[in-house]
Structure formats: structure tokens, C-alpha cells
């Protein structure tokens, strides 16, 4: 799926037949199996506010899983039949086949479900780092997050649950709220509340049974963030990793002066750049996530599987508000 100019995804992305290049000595020929449509993919195609843009013409997609068909003679770590995912953003995963240098691919076990592998390299990795890198959380501690029904939000709930950490999950009010609450509770959420509830005195009842959170995860911005901050413990940290409301993060001065609140930011792409030479950290994270998947403690987000030729409908569906299902292209 190729785009030759930036613009609205459904308008500029086209399905094109291209020749598969010859496999060089250090290359790997991959048959793609499945690739999701993520908000960052759409942002890159729109070309407006995203800091990472592929040179045009570009193939869409930053995430997915493929099977190795053939390797060049200098390739040591991969062999035909292995499953691989992108080691970094910008690979262009919305394609049936591709020839890539060995170093841009990461091997993953092929005994995990294909949808888990296809959605492994962005959201679960982001959730893992958010929970691991900003506060040293222990069993019994709590975390609060908004956009809790997003791919990252669902992964945070499950990874936290597996570590004995409680989650307070904020979602927008919607027509099928009861169904969403039920789904997040089934994943292991301790509390699911709406944005409006954040402002109500009843919030105090939640903190009778669990401690106030030391960590807040913000993917929205605007008013949601300000309200969430009020419930953080003194010296707590809020990490912003997205801005779905397209509004700035507003913080009262008192949060800094009287409660010494810390505000941080996180971008998975930058983490990968910073750890490019530190394969141990990457391997340890992937191993931990795959173990959780094998034990049934981490599942793929709710997915809608779409054949490649129906890509336009999938792109349009991924842009609709209140989407709780991730569109996955089957390749």
C-alpha cells in the first residue's frame, strides 16, 4: 500500500503491484502475514505533525509480523520459517512481501498467536516501558491512565495486573459504555471510570481500597490531563505519550510547588533509537512480553481482521471516533 504524497489516508494510499527486489548478501525476503493500522501510521501519511516521515513514495505501516522466506548468504541470525517484526518504525509493513536488511528485523517466537505478534512492537512495548521506566512500582501500588481502551491502555491493564499493580482506567462516555467497562474489567482493570467521574467527590471512595497513584499515563491532553493530575500522590509522575485531544497539557502551578509533581514524555521510536546499541534491553523486554502472551496474561487488542484489498474501508474505520477495535490487514 503506497502513498506518493501526504494527505488523508483513504485518499492518498493506493494498492500497487511492484517487483520484489533481489535478495542481497545481508538481506532477508519476508512474506508479511498481518499488519495493524495505528494512529501513528495515519499521522505519518497525513504528514502534518508527526516528527518521523518516510521519504516519498512510501509504503504505509510501522508494525506487523512476517515469515522469512529466504536469507542472503551473510545472514546469521535468521532462517526461512522464522517470524520477524520491525526493529524500528518506518519499515512499511502494509505489503505482501518485502526484502529488508537483516538489522531492521527482530525475530519473535512463532508459537504465539499471529495477532499478538502483529501488534507486539508498538503498543505492548510502549506500555511495558511506561510501567517500568518512570516510577519503581511494587505490587499493591496503583496507576491511573486515560484512553484506557486504546491499544496501549489495554496492554497497560494486563501488564500491570500480571505484576500486582492496580489500575484506574479513564474512558470517554459513549453509547456502549457498559460493554466497554465489562471488556476492560475482563482484561484485569480494577476501576473503569469516565472523564466526568474524575471531577466528582465519589473519586475518594476508590482510594479507600487502593492507594493514590504514583504514576499517571496521559495519551489525551487538555482537561482530562488536569483532572487526572489532581489524583496523583505528591512527588508523583505524569508521563505523556500521546495527544488525542490535540490540546495542550494544562498544569496548575500548585501541582509543581506544593506537590512536586513531575511531568515527563515518552516516544517509543526515540527509546528504540537510544537503545539501538543495547540489544540486551530490547531482548529482555521482548522476552518478558512473549512470556506474558504464552501465559495468557497479555492478549492482542480487540481486532477487526480485514483482507488487504479492503484497505480503504479499514483506513476509514480506523479514523472513526470511539473505535475500540484495531483494524488489522491480513496479507
Residue range 78-123, pLDDT digits in tens: 999 999 999 988 899 999 999 999 999 999 999 999 999 999 999 9
Q: Are residues 149 and 17 in the same domain?
A: no
Mean pLDDT of 244-270: 93
Q: Are residues 132 and 93 in the same domain?
A: no
Q: 322 falls in which pLDDT band (50, 70, 90)?
A: low
Name the active-site residue from 3, 50, 241, 311: 50
Q: Are residues 104 and 139 in the same domain?
A: no
Domain for residue 284, yes or no? no
How many angstroms separate the CA atoms of 157 and 143, rounded?
A: 9
Question: What is the tally of structural domains in the chain?
Answer: 2
Q: Are residues 159 and 114 in the same domain?
A: no
Query: Is 123:155 a contact under the CB 8 Å cutoff?
Result: yes
Residue 50 a catalytic site member:
yes
Q: Are residues 75 and 149 in the same domain?
A: no
Beta bridge partner(s), residue 32: 66
Residue 285 is placed in which grid cell? Answer: 523486554
Does the pLDDT of residue 207 top 90, yes or no?
yes
Q: What local confidence, expressed as pLDDT, does residue 304 receive?
A: 93
Q: Where among 220, 247, 268 does a domain terminate?
A: 268
pLDDT tens for 136-146 read: 999 999 999 99
Q: Where are the beta strands (DSSP E) in 142-214?
A: 142-145, 166-171, 191-194
146 secondary structure, DSSP code: S
Q: Are residues 65 and 200 in the same domain?
A: no
Q: Are residues 47 and 138 in the same domain?
A: no
Coil, strand or helix at 152: helix
Q: Are residues 91 and 137 in the same domain?
A: no
Q: 176 falls in which pLDDT band (50, 70, 90)?
A: confident
pTM of the predicted model, to two decimals? 0.91
Which CATH number belongs to the domain containing residue 94 in this structure? Answer: 3.90.180.10
Q: Are residues 114 and 20 in the same domain?
A: yes
Domain region containing 93: 2-119+300-330
Q: Are residues 177 and 217 in the same domain?
A: yes
Amino acid at each position: 500500500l503506497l502513498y506518493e504524497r501526504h494527505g488523508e489516508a483513504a485518499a492518498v494510499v493506493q494498492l500497487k503491484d511492484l517487483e520484489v527486489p533481489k535478495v542481497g548478501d545481508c538481506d532477508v525476503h519476508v512474506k508479511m502475514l498481518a499488519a495493524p493500522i495505528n494512529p501513528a501510521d495515519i499521522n505519518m501519511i497525513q504528514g502534518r505533525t508527526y516528527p518521523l516521515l518516510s521519504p516519498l513514495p512510501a509504503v504505509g505501516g510501522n508494525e506487523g509480523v512476517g515469515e522469512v522466506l529466504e536469507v542472503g548468504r551473510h545472514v546469521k541470525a535468521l532462517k526461512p520459517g522464522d517470524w520477524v517484526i520491525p526493529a524500528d518504525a518506518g519499515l512499511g509493513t502494509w505489503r505482501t512481501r518485502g526484502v529488508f536488511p537483516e538489522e531492521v528485523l527482530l525475530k519473535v517466537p512463532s508459537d504465539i498467536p499471529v495477532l499478538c505478534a502483529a501488534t507486539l512492537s508498538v503498543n505492548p512495548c510502549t506500555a511495558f516501558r511506561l510501567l517500568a521506566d518512570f516510577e519503581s512500582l511494587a505490587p499493591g501500588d496503583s496507576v491511573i491512565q486515560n484512553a484506557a481502551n486504546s491499544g496501549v491502555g489495554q496492554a497497560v491493564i494486563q501488564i500491570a495486573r500480571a505484576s500486582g499493580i492496580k489500575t484506574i482506567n479513564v474512558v470517554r462516555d459513549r453509547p456502549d459504555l457498559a460493554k466497554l467497562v465489562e471488556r476492560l474489567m475482563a482484561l484485569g482493570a480494577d476501576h473503569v471510570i469516565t472523564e466526568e467521574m474524575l471531577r466528582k467527590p465519589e473519586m475518594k471512595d476508590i482510594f479507600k481500597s487502593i492507594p493514590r497513584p504514583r504514576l499517571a499515563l496521559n495519551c489525551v491532553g487538555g482537561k482530562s490531563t488536569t483532572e487526572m493530575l489532581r489524583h496523583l500522590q505528591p512527588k508523583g509522575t505524569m508521563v505523556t505519550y500521546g495527544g488525542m485531544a490535540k490540546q495542550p497539557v494544562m498544569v496548575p502551578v500548585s501541582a509543581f510547588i506544593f506537590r512536586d509533581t513531575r511531568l515527563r514524555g515518552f516516544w517509543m521510536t526515540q527509546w528504540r533509537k537510544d537503545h539501538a546499541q543495547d540489544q540486551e534491553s530490547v531482548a529482555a523486554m521482548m522476552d518478558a512480553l512473549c512470556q506474558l502472551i504464552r501465559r495468557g496474561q497479555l492478549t492482542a487488542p480487540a481486532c477487526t481482521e480485514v483482507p488487504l484489498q479492503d484497505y480503504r474501508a479499514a483506513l476509514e474505520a480506523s479514523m472513526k471516533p470511539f473505535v475500540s477495535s484495531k483494524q488489522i490487514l491480513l496479507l
